[in-house]
Chain A
Amino acid sequence: MNPRVYCIATNTFREAVRDRVLYNLIAFALLLSGAAVLVGQISIDIERLVVINLGLTAVSLFGIVIAIFIGIGLVAKEIDKKTLYTVLSRPVRRWEFIAGKFFGLAGTLVVNTTFMAIGVFAALLYVSHHLQGSDSGVLVALYFIVLQFVMITALALLFSTFSSPLLSAVFAFSLFVIGSFAEDLRGIARLTHGAAGWLETGVAYLVPNFSALNVISQVAHGEAVAPQLIAYNTAYTLVYTLAVLAGAVLIFERRNLK
């Protein structure tokens, strides 16, 4: 990695840790351990299902909230505190700043998710006393959740380059919700004809395809995820993130910071 990008990324990670972002792990641990103990008392034969559903949903929601609320301040905060000028007065290009911020937050989320994943498997082990082969699906679901974080981080960063933090949060969260229904959107577009159909198709392909990254219900029921889907989702996330970051660089390069 470019040393300047690496430096900004590590500083972003340190800043997130200093901001007590990882404290969410305590809330997550309490939620999951509480659920693991309670579910054994109140449900019959769906302990694993509840733990997987609850655990993965919590991982996803915690991460999305962090990605959005940290992501939207990545650039805006630096401008507010005027620290951006100090950074850019050094031999750091604007695109390097964007890339570094992105890798820093994405790295924070990966570390955060790793700890949460350990929590999910610990709770799973607690309720069923052993792990099964089908539990590897949980790892795939966790991987897809990380892919969601990567895209959301890039989107939050994109909005952060030109909008206020509040509006950026609204935009990023709206895109997350819309993207979760992306498959429905494309279905509707297929049924629509004429100019409206073209417009809907364009929008349906423009929004991030989060729906294909949510396999929580599937893995909770022990169903395998096709290896091709893992490959396509990985490629899609990389390409889409690249497009969003390119957009962020495009805007940030042209932005008048005086």
Chain B
Amino acid sequence: MSSRRVTDAAALLLLLSMAVSVLLVRQVDQLRAGATLQEVLYISSPKLLKRLSLGYDGLLADVYWTRAVQYYGGMHHAGGGNYELLAPLLNITTQLDPHLIPAYEFGGTFLSAKPPRGAGLPQKAVELVEYGIHNNPDDWHLYYDLGFIYYMDLKDYSGAADAFRRGSQTPNAHPFLRILAAQMAEHGGDTQTARMLWSATFQTTHDDHVKANAASHLRALQVDQDVSDLERAVEIYRQRTGRLPASFVDMAAAGLLRGIPQDPLGQPYRLTSDGKVEVTDPDDLPFVENGLPASYVPPVVPKITPVE
């Protein structure tokens, strides 16, 4: 066999073998789905892992943080679950690198959010973020995240106010923390407070996903408010005329509306025959509580519209 033929055969073999190896790796991955995460079950001690990392604990923390994100993302897309490995993964990540701020910020959110969007463990989230504050006492974002968890998931308005107040005392703290602390202390349960919080998140985050999520919540608050207002107007119409309006045109003719009302995405609201107001496409408006059709079943993974 000439040298030319050997090199041709070797090149062909190389390409074929690499192609087959990719197919085999995909099969192995299917068999070992989540295998890297199972390590947490074997070595759950962050101190032991820190020693085993031989000083490369920063790199190992990055690996564990990536695993936590993958785990959360995988469970989230699969429709949720009990997220049992999330807290240990975050615990290991933050103990390997106590200054890895995103692990506290996003990890706290993953842990505290109600299932199926999160683990539904707000108390664990508080512990995680408090550990972050202990190690990074001058980072105001962590106090903001802590207040957010107290407010959103624990409905503990005094805890939230205290977190915002502590955050407002850090150097370089964002001025809105002081306002949030005051607002929370006085009007914890108001819609206006929720709007302030999501607006603050929208304005201060640099992450597109977080921004889109905040925008979705702001739209949902707007829809909840719109639906309440419109149903109140329907009631006024009924009291005036003794019957329910057939459409929004009737209500506009009666001077109760300026035109056909639209949701924050520009879709017209719908008026049902029994005087209820509904959104046209509820899938586009996740987190909405008022105005959902009676038979509507929300998707497992909320549809978050990217912010342009």
Bound-state CA distance A93–B11 (Å) is 17
Q: Which of A11-19, A166-174, A186-194 contacts B (4 or more CB under 8 A)?
A: A186-194
Nearest residue (CB) in A for B43 is A217
Bound-state CA distance A187–B70 (Å) is 7
The tally of CB-CB contacts under 8 A between chains A and B is: 96
- B27 lies within 8 A of chain A by Cβ: yes
The answer to whether A211 and B43 touch (CB under 8 A), given A184-B66, A239-B17, A254-B7, is: no
User: Which residues does chain B contribute within 8 Å of A191, judged by CB atoms?
Assistant: 69-70, 73
The answer to whether A226 and B66 touch (CB under 8 A), given A235-B24, A253-B6, is: no
- Taking a contact as CB atoms under 8 Å apart, the answer to whether B21 and A232 are in contact is no
Nearest residue (CB) in B for A49 is B42
Chain A facing B: main interface SS: helix
User: Which residues does chain B contribute within 8 Å of A236, judged by CB atoms?
Assistant: 21, 24-25, 28
The answer to whether A183 and B18 touch (CB under 8 A), given A253-B6, A253-B7, is: no
Cβ contact of B32, chosen from A183, A217, A220, A247, cutoff 8 A: A183
- For the complex formed, measure the closest distance between the CB of B59 and the CB atoms of chain A, giving whole angstroms: 10
Of the four ranges (under 10, 10 to 19, 20 to 34, 35 or more), the interface on chain B belongs to: 20 to 34
- Taking a contact as CB atoms under 8 Å apart, the answer to whether A183 and B29 are in contact is yes
User: Which residues does chain B contribute within 8 Å of A87, judged by CB atoms?
Assistant: none
- Taking a contact as CB atoms under 8 Å apart, the answer to whether B6 and A93 are in contact is yes
Cβ contact of B31, chosen from A188, A211, A218, A232, cutoff 8 A: A232
- Taking a contact as CB atoms under 8 Å apart, the answer to whether B35 and A183 are in contact is yes
- B36 lies within 8 A of chain A by Cβ: yes
- Taking a contact as CB atoms under 8 Å apart, the answer to whether B36 and A183 are in contact is yes
- B172 lies within 8 A of chain A by Cβ: no
- A181 lies within 8 A of chain B by Cβ: yes
- Taking a contact as CB atoms under 8 Å apart, the answer to whether B25 and A205 are in contact is yes
- For the complex formed, measure the closest distance between the CB of A158 and the CB atoms of chain B, giving whole angstroms: 11
Bound-state CA distance A186–B34 (Å) is 12
The answer to whether A226 and B24 touch (CB under 8 A), given A243-B13, A250-B7, is: no
User: Which residues does chain A contribute within 8 Å of B18, judged by CB atoms?
Assistant: 206, 240, 243
- Taking a contact as CB atoms under 8 Å apart, the answer to whether B1 and A93 are in contact is yes
User: Which residues does chain A contribute within 8 Å of B36, judged by CB atoms?
Assistant: 183-184, 187, 211
Cβ contact of B6, chosen from A95, A183, A190, A239, cutoff 8 A: A95
Cβ contact of A240, chosen from B17, B27, B70, cutoff 8 A: B17
User: Which residues does chain B contribute within 8 Å of A240, judged by CB atoms?
Assistant: 17-18, 21
- B254 lies within 8 A of chain A by Cβ: no
Bound-state CA distance A243–B11 (Å) is 9
15 further contact pairs, Cβ within 8 A, besides A229-B32, A240-B18 = A93-B1, A94-B3, A183-B32, A217-B43, A239-B17, A240-B17, A240-B21, A243-B14, A243-B18, A246-B17, A247-B10, A250-B10, A250-B11, A253-B6, A253-B10
Closest 7 CB pairs of A and B: A243-B17, A246-B14, A246-B13, A217-B42, A236-B24, A249-B10, A250-B10
15 residue pairs bridging A and B, Cβ less than 8 Å apart: A186-B25, A186-B29, A188-B66, A191-B69, A209-B25, A211-B36, A212-B32, A217-B39, A221-B42, A239-B21, A240-B21, A242-B13, A249-B6, A249-B7, A250-B14
